[in-house]
Amino acid sequence: MSTPFDVIVIGAGPGGYVAAIRAAQLGLKVAVVEREHLGGICLNWGCIPTKAMLRSAEIFHLMHRAKDFGLKAEGIGYDLDAVVKRSRGIAKQLNSGVGHLLKKNKVTVVMGAATIPAEGKVSVTTGKGTQELTAKAIILATGARARELPGLEADGDLVWTYKHALLPPRMPKRLLVIGSGAIGIEFASFYNTLGAETVVVEVLDRILPVEDAEISALARKAFEGQGMTLMESAMVKKLDRGQGKVTAHIETGGKVEKMAFDTVISAVGIVGNTEGLGLEGLGVKIDRTHVVTDAYCRTEVEGLYAIGDLAGPPWLAHKASHEGVMVAEMIAGKQVHPVKPESIAGCTYCHPQVASVGMTEARAKETGRKIKVGRFPFMANGKAIALGESEGLVKVIFDQATGELLGAHMIGAEVTELIQGYVVGRQLETTEEDLMHTVFPHPTLSEMMHEAVLDAYGRAIHF
């Protein structure tokens, strides 16, 4: 048995490694246990490798538009293996970066699968045997994996999860994507841009269902313009797998339609990695596949915390890492504030990009508030026109009585970068007045954020 740690973190994804580094910065003795890759899903199979691949698709798309910019590009093509190699290289680079950061902060890294045999104890199965560790506090950050629906399970050949889609055995010719959340839509956007005939099936009544309905509708229009087929209020009931071919039985409007594909990507959500940790024996509450915590990520067990994807939505890396910082600081005795899910922006890096924070217009109305809504289109913004990116919208929703910025929703070029301006505004409890008095640099896409606020109060200048 080694000397006790102050904190043991299980899982080195963005939640886990950030918690470990912050705890170490605060002078605690910290170990992190990881069974696969430092950086977790985010750096190895999620956020980063997808963005690397989407960047290749974006440049490919722009190359086809070379003439619009007075340029010549001939013989435009791609090498999928090289696109994937670049993405894997970037993931590897960041994975080593996490190793370096943990070392720099003197965090002990134990590579192996952890279980918790009793409160304060962690048993790690490593390549060399079992290592027993003890700590005053344990942070569970074991993340999540792809949800598999019966009959639609991935096989790595015809039916893929996100992992297969990041290491594709071939370029799909006719692709079915099941699920139109961020993960499904990003892969649909990538493969469609590279030329796969792409069909997206969404069980709810619109694609990107967590977004504002107006943004979903604009996304739909843009994707259809790029040749994608979108089937909303539709459900894949069955997949018949044959030699290099899958026949999907898709129910829509009470009828079942059969459609043939060579590849299916299943993106129907995720399930938390709760198994094999010994949580049941400890009395940790699990709701479906997620560990139940209070607003401070505390479980029912004294000294045991759960953060990130394991602890429920929103399933985003920045939520995981922010919770990691909060819990590390709380363990170190600092005063902390719970993470507010409604202040966490969601970004989808499809083409065009989608980003939002706070309430949708429908949700704001449901709360009974009187609201003011402002909009500003990309086609009226000088920088957007100069960039050749005049498709898109910025929309804001204010509480009429207080001027509180309730929500912001965007679609168009670089909106995943723009949204943070409104996130900061909400964090600082900004009102419409503060935003109107703020000077935005010209020419920038950010001017649309100003104009949308002005529009909510009938004062937009350029539209």
Ligand X SMILES: Cc1cc2nc3c(=O)[nH]c(=O)nc-3n(C[C@H](O)[C@H](O)[C@H](O)COP(=O)(O)OP(=O)(O)OC[C@H]3O[C@@H](n4cnc5c(N)ncnc54)[C@H](O)[C@@H]3O)c2cc1C
Q: Catalytic residue positions?
A: 442
- Under the binding rule (CB under 6 A), the answer on residue 277 touching ligand X is yes
- Under the binding rule (CB under 6 A), the answer on residue 312 touching ligand X is no
What is the rounded CA–CA span in Å between residue 190 and residue 186? 6
- Under the binding rule (CB under 6 A), the answer on residue 230 touching ligand X is no
Task: Give the helix, strand, coil percentages of the chain, each rounded to 5.
Answer: 35, 25, 40
Q: DSSP string covering 391-407, please?
A: --EEEEEEETTT-BEEE
Q: Between 234 and 316, name the residue whose CB sits nearer to ligand X.
A: 316
- Please identify which residue in 5, 190, 315, 398 interacts with ligand X, judged by CB under 6 A: 315
- Under the binding rule (CB under 6 A), the answer on residue 42 touching ligand X is yes
What is the rounded CA–CA span in Å between residue 324 and residue 13? 10
**Residue window 17-36: x/- pattern of binding to ligand X, with contact defined by CB under 6 A:** ----------------xxxx
Q: Which stretch binds ligand X (CB under 6 A): 317-325, 329-337, 370-378, 429-437?
A: 317-325
Q: Which stretch binds ligand X (CB under 6 A): 46-54, 91-99, 200-208, 328-336?
A: 46-54
- Please identify which residue in 9, 14, 181, 369 interacts with ligand X, judged by CB under 6 A: 14
Cβ-count burial 233-266 (b if 16+ within 10 Å, e if not): ebebeebeeeeeebebebbeeeeeeebebbbbbb
Q: Which stretch binds ligand X (CB under 6 A): 193-201, 225-233, 311-319, 403-411?
A: 311-319
Q: Phi and psi (nearest 5°) for 290?
A: -125, 145
Distances (CA, A) of 87 to 56, 82, 92, 143, 168: 9, 9, 9, 22, 12
Distances (CA, A) of 104 to 18, 21, 25, 91, 109: 13, 9, 10, 20, 12
Q: Between 276 and 382, name the residue whose CB sits nearer to ligand X.
A: 276
Q: Between 109 and 259, name the residue whose CB sits nearer to ligand X.
A: 109
Q: Which stretch binds ligand X (CB under 6 A): 65-73, 139-147, 334-342, 368-376?
A: 139-147
- Under the binding rule (CB under 6 A), the answer on residue 140 touching ligand X is no
Q: Phi and psi (nearest 5°) for 136?
A: -70, -35
- Under the binding rule (CB under 6 A), the answer on residue 16 touching ligand X is yes
The candidate with the shortest Cα–Cα distance to 176, out of 166, 164, 193, 188, is 188
CB of 344 to ligand X, least distance (A): 9
Restricted to residues 102-131, the positions that interact with ligand X (CB under 6 A) are 113-114
Contacts of 156 (CB under 8 A, 6+ apart): 164, 169
Considering CB under 6 A, how many residues would be counted as binding ligand X? Answer: 38
Contacts of 411 (CB under 8 A, 6+ apart): 215, 218, 219, 222, 352, 353, 354, 392, 393
- Under the binding rule (CB under 6 A), the answer on residue 184 touching ligand X is no
- Under the binding rule (CB under 6 A), the answer on residue 192 touching ligand X is no
- Under the binding rule (CB under 6 A), the answer on residue 272 touching ligand X is no
- Under the binding rule (CB under 6 A), the answer on residue 404 touching ligand X is no
Q: List residues near ligand X by CB under 6 A.
A: 10-16, 33-37, 40-42, 45-47, 50, 113-114, 141-144, 162, 183, 273, 276-277, 308-310, 315-318, 320
